[in-house]
Amino acid sequence: MTAVAGHTPAIDTGAASAVRPCAHCAARVPRGMIEPGAAEQFCCGGCRAAYHMIMSSGLSACYRLRDRFEPVRAVASGPEAGAADGAAFEGFDSPAYAQRAASGEGDSGLLRVEWVLENVRCAACVWLVERLPRLCPGVAAARLDLGRGVAQVVWDPSRVRLSAVARALAGIGYRPHALRDESARRARARQDRAAVVRVAVAGACAGNAMLFAVALYAGMFAQMEPAHRDLFRAFGLLVTLVCVLWPGRVFFAGAWGALRARSPHLDVPIALAIAVGTAWSVRSTLLGTGEVYSDSLSMLVFVLLCGRMMQRHQQRWACDAVELLLCLTPSIASVVHEAGADGSGGSLRRTPIDAVRAGDLVHVEPGQTFPADGELMPCVGSAGTEIDAALLTGESRPQRVVAGGRVCAGTVNLASAVRVRVTAAGDQTRAAGLMRMVERASRSRPPIVQLTDRAAGWFTVVMIIVGLATLGAWLAIDASQAAARAVAVMVVACPCALGLATPMTISAALGRAARGGVLIKDAAAIERLSSRGTVYFDKTGTLTAGRPRVLRTAGDRRALERAAALDHASDHPSARALRDWAGDAAGAHRVDSARATLGAGVTGVVGGAPVSVGKPTYVYAACPGADRLRWGPGVEAAEREGLSVVLVAERGRVVAMAALGDEIRPDARQAVAALGAKGWSVAILSGDAPGPVRAVADAVGIDAAHSRMSPEDKLARVRDWRPLAGPGQVRVMVGDGVNDAAALAAADVGIAVHGGAEASLAAADVYLSRPTMAGIAAVFRGCRRTVAAVRTNLIVSVSYNVLAVAAAAVGLIGPLGAAVLMPISSLTVLALALRARTFGGPA
Amino acid sequence: MIATLSGIVLASLLGSAHCAGMCGAIATMSLEPARGAGAGSRRAGGGQRARAAVAYHAGRLVSYALLGALAGVVGTLVDMGGDLAGVRRVAGVLASLAMVGCGLGVLLVHAGCAVRWPRLPGVLGGLASRAHRVAWGLPMVWRAGAIGLLTALLPCGWLYVFVTAAAGTGSPVGGAALMAAFWLGTVPALAAVGLGARSVLARVRLRSGVVSAAAMIVLGGVLLWAGAAAPAGAGPACPLCDTPAPSEPSAHAIGSRGRTP
């Protein structure tokens, strides 16, 4: 307190200078107020109270400030004030930002950047933001992802600076922030908070306006005095004005941005509606006659804001539903704290995956998915472990990894508990790179979405016209109803549902597909796969399992089991097939010795008897006295079918035969039939010999089978494909992501079933992590259902809008009813979109 | 009406040196760049300062008008009670007497007598402190507006004299109008404080207590006389313009306490 006393000004207080001036206002303290001995003197009780209030608020600095005699500088001119705003965007022009955030758009010299925008609210924002090329010359394209509020801007650096583009966006009301920027997250949090405050204020206003309205209605029956009636009306109006001008400001701001961009926006009709209602209420209150909409107006603003907030939440939720990385990696990792140098010991702490950093040590139990890329530590599972890396490499057999070996996020630990030193986490991992490809799909705008976006824009224009026409018509019929009718029409006409329906349905479908192991890189593929045309299948690994199996045997079964035991050491596919066939029986035999001839066969001693197993030529060579005539016809017949034959000789005599072939997938026939039923013609493109190809074709029911095709032949076949029956047909290639890459890329839709997702998605549009024929059929079915869901949602939203507008225009729905119905329609469509059984449903 | 409001503006202007003392400190600080902005704070442009000043005064206007309207409602209720008891314009008379009393009390204090003033409830002070602390965290222009809005919570005797007068109008609209007139009178002095003309005001303020006390007494007397001078039996008068309200409710009925005979 004494410190503050020191700040009191040395004002000449004349004769009374013995007493300090008032500690608060520095006026002379009247004699009647002097408190002898007090550190602070006050001229009045008010000053005393104010002083204590200021001190208790921690604002003692304001006295220091007051006492500093410093005239305020002259008022700055406009441009300087604007400069502060502009400075925020200068950072976008720096080379460092361009290098970090911008990517080239082909060799056109254009660059592309992604920004998080503020104030993205609804489908009409998409339309507005995509007008950017018209507003800002030098911008080639702008695309807005509604759910995430992320805009993709393609611009020509030689014609326009990026900061100018940012300013243009801010000018129409969407302030951009750099992606992955702290400011973007803060902006989002700030917006959320502001939205809550707005809803709260609007709610309070609406409640109070309601009270006044109730009083007015009650007064109508109880002969209220006109003075009181006017008073209540005035209060109601006051509260409403607060509601319209503060929380309701967002609608006017949105409408203003739209008008500046000269393109229709959802907020235009709403702002118009609120303005009409307010103007009418003010007029009625001042004249003391006519209807006052105070309560309805503030309620309207409240309900609209509530609806908007709900929509925002649901959109975010939908967005998270396609948060694809989460489909592949766990959301929680066990991070080891205070571990020894070799990674052993320490304590485990469950940590959200976002918080895992390079250098952390994570513990992964068998059966768990690795949360990040890293190196295996030598501690716990010193013998290493086995992992399933099918997602990245396409290799579905377990892979052995030893200490020091690399593991990737998204692969599965199969054998034993291990600890991994993280080298890359989050969006730095290989899996994240893969997911970025898929994520881009959810942001790309297939033609059907672009169409509905345009439609939503035009819809808005039409609805404004209808609203104004309603106003005019009702002014002529019954002026007292006109404002309410027009307000109702314009509010209920919101094309939100229309604009949301399609993109949300497709995003949700992409998410569902990803969870089912189907990664879709291009959203347009969904639309194409829902039509009809030709599907080309690669044979090996697609229609067939991709590795040989024992299809039939002849001769001594026990001899074959002994041969399988002999094959124990061999990694040849035929040997593996024989082992698989024999199963546990092979382990019952003791192998005394074995000698393998690479790619031909094995000779050795099993249970004391000499055994040879291998190709016929090898076995015949090993047993010169073998009975060729006896086995010849069987061998030839099998080879004609495209099967490979293994003979077993014991003690110089051929005793058994096994015919090995690539087994056709059991669900192939059914899947091909399902495709045919939906109007697809199916053909096989295979590099194999005609015999086996024909056999497979017959087995699964395909007529057109092309054999002995090199990758180039396949490409030419796909490229030169002509639709069989009219336009609108598409060609689809299903095959190996690596060997058939060219054909996959040339097709309208390439579906990769092999070769690892990473490599496959470079060429193909769709990747199946579980390559079954039923899965392929399910992709087609899912796409068909997605497009059907899109159509349903469009029909629902359009007919809803048309019916509601008609009802509002004739007066069946009031403004408040309209405000309640509008978000309900959007939420209905969102719910339909998210619940649609697109991918992953039953057949 | 114009006469009454002009009188209010004049009285407010005369006493506004007090306002410069009471609110000057806070006003000056609310126009400063944000706390903790450090050396860069000087960058806050003059344009922003001007916007902040406008926000501050607009905030004050809103809060004064609301306070006046509230007082007007209280006055209306008092008048209604009076009407039931068969006494006309109770609120006006009471308010005028209170103002004269306040003025006399201030003079007594200056003459060296210790006067016990009624104190505002402590809850209000606590609320004001908390609200100020919140307001101080806002960005500059918003902060200035919020501080302006909170002015009505300052325990300023001078302000409450006019609030009393507003209650005396017996109409919310009249009360709000009266407080708006009061606001108008305070703008020059507070704007001057913001612009650094403090030293001039400091000299004026030395005598401000006596001047404002005199203004209170005169104003109270004038209002009391104006109320008494209203034509008796001619029905209630409009509190704003002192003309008798027409017997039919009309467009002008907005502020009338229209009890049709």
Domains of chain A: 2-67 (no CATH), 78-180 (3.30.70.100), 335-428 (2.70.150.10), 546-663 (3.40.1110.10)
pLDDT score recorded for residue B66:
92
Distance from CA of A36 to the nearest CA of B (A): 13
Distance from CA of B256 to the nearest CA of A (A): 7
Inter-residue contact A415 to A366 (CB < 8 Å): yes
pLDDT score recorded for residue B77:
82
Q: Which of A30, A72, A226 sits opposite B209 (nearest CB)?
A: A30
pLDDT digits 0-9 by tens, B149-200: 888 877 777 788 888 888 888 888 889 999 999 999 888 888 777 665 555 5
Whether A522 is catalytic = no
B interface test, pick of A52, A229, A231, A235 with most B CB neighbours within 10 Å: A231
Q: Does B89 touch chain A (CB under 8 A)?
A: no
Residue type, A445: R
pLDDT score recorded for residue B180:
92
State chain A's mean pLDDT as an integer: 76
Residue A3 has pLDDT above 50, yes or no: no
Inter-residue contact B153 to B131 (CB < 8 Å): yes
Write out residues in chain B with pLDDT < 70, as ranges: 1, 32-46, 86, 116-122, 194-209, 227-261
Residue A811 has pLDDT above 50, yes or no: yes
CB contact under 8 A, A33 and B109: yes
Q: Does B143 touch chain A (CB under 8 A)?
A: no
pLDDT digits 0-9 by tens, A534-568: 899 888 778 887 777 888 888 888 888 888 888 77
pLDDT score recorded for residue A224:
66
Q: Does B28 touch chain A (CB under 8 A)?
A: yes
Q: Does B120 touch chain A (CB under 8 A)?
A: yes
Q: Which of A72, A80, A234 sits opposite B196 (nearest CB)?
A: A72
CB contact under 8 A, B129 and A56: yes
Locus of tokens 């824009």: A457
Can you spell out the DSSP letters for B24-77? HHHHHHHTSPPTT-GGGGGGS-HHHHHHHHHHHHHHHHHHHHHHHHHHHHHHHH
Pick the range with the lowest mean pLDDT from A261-270, A597-606, A793-802: A261-270
Give the pLDDT mean for A643-649. 85
pLDDT band at A17 (very low <50, low <70, confident <90, very high): very low
Distance from CA of B130 to the nearest CA of A (A): 7
CB contact under 8 A, A59 and B26: yes
pLDDT digits 0-9 by tens, A524-542: 888 888 888 889 988 877 8
Residue type, B125: G
List the single residue in B with minimal CA-CA distance to A71.
Answer: B196
List the single residue in B with minimal CA-CA distance to A56.
Answer: B129
List the single residue in B with minimal CA-CA distance to A224.
Answer: B259
Give the pLDDT mean for A574-593. 79
**Euclidean distance between CA atoms A690 and A680, whole angstroms:** 23
**Euclidean distance between CA atoms A364 and A417, whole angstroms:** 6
pLDDT digits 0-9 by tens, A711-727: 788 888 888 877 666 66
pLDDT score recorded for residue A601:
82
User: At residue A557, what are phi and psi to the nearest 5 degrees?
Assistant: -65, -40
pLDDT digits 0-9 by tens, A202-220: 888 888 887 777 777 666 6
CB pairs under 8 A between A and B: 172
pLDDT score recorded for residue A12:
37
Side-by-side strand order, sheet with A418-424 = A347-352, A332-337, A361-364, A418-424, A373-376, A406-407
CB contact under 8 A, A71 and B196: yes
CB contact under 8 A, B258 and A227: yes
Residue A589 has pLDDT above 60, yes or no: yes
pLDDT score recorded for residue A466:
85
> Which chain A residues touch B102 with a CB distance below 8 Å?
none
Q: Does B172 touch chain A (CB under 8 A)?
A: yes
Q: Does B259 touch chain A (CB under 8 A)?
A: yes
CB contact under 8 A, A44 and B49: no
pLDDT digits 0-9 by tens, A305-345: 877 776 666 556 555 444 544 556 776 788 888 777 666 77
Give the pLDDT mean for A13-33. 63
B interface test, pick of A20, A31, A62 with most B CB neighbours within 10 Å: A62
CB contact under 8 A, B46 and A66: no
Given the cut 0.85, state whether the ipTM is greater than it.
Answer: no
Pick the range with the lowest mean pLDDT from A354-363, A472-481, B40-49: B40-49
> Which chain B residues touch A235 with a CB distance below 8 Å?
172
Residue A430 has pLDDT above 50, yes or no: yes
> Which chain A residues touch B249 with a CB distance below 8 Å?
226, 288
Report helix angle B46-85 to B172-194, nearest 10: 150
Side-by-side strand order, sheet with A729-736 = A518-520, A766-768, A749-754, A729-736, A532-538, A681-685, A704-706
> Which chain A residues touch B257 with a CB distance below 8 Å?
227
List the single residue in A with minimal CA-CA distance to B159.
Answer: A46
Distance from CA of B222 to the nearest CA of A (A): 25
Question: E strands within B64-216?
Answer: none
pLDDT digits 0-9 by tens, A107-155: 677 888 888 787 776 656 776 787 788 778 888 888 877 666 778 888 8
A197 vs B111: which has the higher pLDDT? A197
Pick the range with the lowest mean pLDDT from A73-77, A761-765, B88-92, B170-174: A73-77
CB contact under 8 A, A80 and B45: yes
Residue A443 has pLDDT above 70, yes or no: no
User: At residue A388, what are phi and psi to the nearest 5 degrees?
Assistant: -105, 105
Inter-residue contact A748 to A533 (CB < 8 Å): yes
Q: Does B49 touch chain A (CB under 8 A)?
A: yes
pLDDT score recorded for residue A724:
64
Give the pLDDT mean for A642-651. 83
Q: Which of A45, A84, A226 sits opposite B253 (nearest CB)?
A: A226
CB contact under 8 A, A25 and B133: no
CB contact under 8 A, A31 and B110: yes
> Which chain A residues touch B259 with a CB distance below 8 Å?
225, 227
> Which chain A residues touch B28 with a CB distance below 8 Å?
62, 65-66
Distance from CA of B153 to the nearest CA of A (A): 9
CB contact under 8 A, A44 and B208: no
Can you spell out the DSSP letters for A752-794? EEES-HHHHHHH-SEEESS--HHHHHHHHHHHHHHHHHHHHHH
Residue A464 has pLDDT above 90, yes or no: no
> Which chain A residues touch B192 with a CB distance below 8 Å?
none
Distance from CA of A82 to the nearest CA of B (A): 9
pLDDT band at A436 (very low <50, low <70, confident <90, very high): low
**Euclidean distance between CA atoms B49 and B141, whole angstroms:** 8
B131 vs A70: which has the higher pLDDT? B131
List the single residue in A with minimal CA-CA distance to B31.
Answer: A72
pLDDT band at A15 (very low <50, low <70, confident <90, very high): very low
Catalytic residue selected from A295, A373, A453, A538: A538
**Euclidean distance between CA atoms A468 and A472, whole angstroms:** 6
CB contact under 8 A, B25 and A66: yes
List the single residue in B with minimal CA-CA distance to A48.
Answer: B155
Nearest to B21 by CA among B206, B217, B215, B211: B206
pLDDT score recorded for residue B65:
92
Distance from CA of B75 to the nearest CA of A (A): 13
Q: What percent of chain A has pLDDT over 70?
A: 77
pLDDT digits 0-9 by tens, A361-392: 888 887 778 888 888 887 654 567 888 776 66
pLDDT digits 0-9 by tens, A153-196: 888 888 888 888 888 888 777 888 776 555 656 777 777 788 88
Q: Which of B18, B31, B45 sits opposite A81 (nearest CB)?
A: B45
